Structure 1
Amino acid sequence: MEQLKHSEEEILKLGKKLIAELELVYTVNTLARWMGHYLVELMNNIDKCESKQEKSELQKECCNVILEIWEKRERIPIEKPTEKLKPIIDVLSLLKKNEHPFIRHRFLGNNNGLRNKNSNWLSFLEIVKNNSERIYRKSIISMISEELLEKDKEWIEKHGSFLSDDEKSVVEYLDSIKEITISFSNDSEKEITENEKIENLFIDLEEQLDEQKEELLRLKKQVLNNL
């Protein structure tokens, strides 16, 4: 049934990817070494076939083996797609249980009557929302490496039909906020070190929090003066 969802070409391509992943742990894992050799042998036998019928039969056999391995991928010694994103997936899942805190509410921009009456509070809320959103994006992206995200993007680009919607959506979401985060911070084309990146990250986070505190103190002063 599973094979009906994918062409033999897609399945064999997945097989090559599994071989490449298994090769990464050949030296330390006997099971990985055995499975890798087994898949390589199956796929090499296809190329050696002299008749179309024999080749077709071997391809089907090989595809069935690949799909069986893929269905049991949690047990095989490879790094699975989005496996290292688990801590972030847990954070996103927790946020899903409640309304997202960074949805732009209409009253922040469209209700002039409300704005005229409560402009000080609304200005404060806008700063809190915008700064918190930026802090949230930068913090999430800082939890993962660019290499890790690129590897999971490659899984989606080349073997996306074998992945779940949740696996694809979390990578696409992280990639989208990564682009936003880079666009905010890419003010200079000068190459910076990893230490400088981390230092700049915390400087930026501190500035966002300081701005919120300054706005809060300003709001407090205005409200008390109006009593």
Structure 2
Amino acid sequence: MPVGILELGQILVEELNLDPGVDTLGRWMAHYVASLIKEAESEQAPKLKQERSKEAQEAIQSLWMHRSIYENRINPLADLKPIVQALRNLDPSNNVYVLRNEGTGYVYDIFRRLIICLLLRKAESASRVSGAIARAKSTSKFQNDDERALIEALEVWLGDTLTKEMPEARRSSSKLPEVKTVNLDNTAHGLIGEARKALDYLESEIERTGGKRNSNSKG
């Protein structure tokens, strides 16, 4: 059996066995794949060993090929679905019109990070999300380009969201915060404070630009 397929099968078995919420189907999958791998490795007769290896390889590849339909850890994004959906909706590249103005861009950035922080808080802890990312990365070499890019972006977004400094300060720092040590309540309070400042800034910007428009209209 190719080493890569065997490695993938062993990772899937381990992840399913470690998943506290795994269902009956997941337990059956773990047992089935583990038994196929064991038979392939223990078989001594060359012809039978080849047959067992082929059977195990096909089962592992079939599971992996259809990974997106599973709600267990065969799907590397299963534990990250709620966060992934929110991040896609809040991705600045999908809302470029709000970044054309300094004030609205400032407000959008703060509220985007605040919403993601609150979602992480609802997910119980940043360390849990960080653990889900680590699990997803364990099969990265078997994933397609879109999955790898999404997981890498999620890791960056997570660090960005949990950094409380202003955007200029964040851009000047290449080191992401240690996720496991972050207190999400404190982070949320800090972002709420920033949100108030952002709204004050936007209000003053509206007053400035509104005054100029009124002056131009009178002239």
Pick the TM interval, shorter chain.
0.5 to 0.7
Mapped partners of 1:10, 1:141: distance in 2: 37
**SS at 2:139's partner residue?**
helix
Q: Is the 8 A contact 2:76 2:139 kept in 1?
A: no
Superposed, which structure 2 residues align to 1:58-97 within 5 Å? Answer: 58-73=52-67, 76=70, 78-79=72-73, 80-90=75-85
Q: Is the 8 A contact 1:26 1:32 kept in 2?
A: no
How high is the TM-score relative to the length of structure 2?
A: 0.67
2:191 corresponds to which residue? 201
Mapped partners of 1:26, 1:173: distance in 2: 26
What residue ranges of structure 1 are gaps of 5+ in the alignment?
A: 1-6, 106-124
Identity %: 24
Mapped partners of 2:32, 2:40: distance in 1: 13
**SS at 1:143's partner residue?**
helix
- How many residues align? The count is 199
CA drift at 1:19: 1.1
Which residue identity is paired with 2:154? Answer: L
For residues 192 and 95 of structure 1, do their structure 2 counterparts lie closer, same or farther at Cα, with a shift above 3 Å needed? closer
For residues 142 and 153 of structure 1, do their structure 2 counterparts lie closer, same or farther at Cα, with a shift above 3 Å needed? farther
For residues 207 and 101 of structure 1, do their structure 2 counterparts lie closer, same or farther at Cα, with a shift above 3 Å needed? same
CA drift at 1:26: 7.6
Which residue identity is paired with 1:155? Answer: A
| 2:170 is the counterpart of 1:175 | no
Mapped partners of 1:164, 1:72: distance in 2: 13
Q: Is the 8 A contact 1:26 1:33 kept in 2?
A: no
| 2:127 is the counterpart of 1:133 | no
For residues 176 and 25 of structure 1, do their structure 2 counterparts lie closer, same or farther at Cα, with a shift above 3 Å needed? closer
Q: Is the 8 A contact 1:22 1:78 kept in 2?
A: yes
Which residue identity is paired with 1:168? Answer: R
1:152 corresponds to which residue? 133
How high is the TM-score relative to the length of structure 1?
A: 0.65
For residues 27 and 99 of structure 1, do their structure 2 counterparts lie closer, same or farther at Cα, with a shift above 3 Å needed? closer
**SS at 1:78's partner residue?**
coil
